[in-house]
Amino acid sequence: MLPDRDAAEEVARELADGFGVAEEPQLVRDALAGEDDAEDAQWLVVVEDPAARLDPAALDTLVAEYDGWLEAP
Per-residue model confidence (pLDDT) at position 72: 77
CB 56, CB 73: distance < 8 Å: no
pLDDT for 1 beyond 70: yes
Per-residue model confidence (pLDDT) at position 51: 86
pLDDT digit string, tens, across residues 4-15: 999 999 999 999
pLDDT digit string, tens, across residues 23-66: 889 999 987 655 555 566 899 999 988 888 899 999 999 999 99
41-46 and 26-31 beta bridge pairing: antiparallel
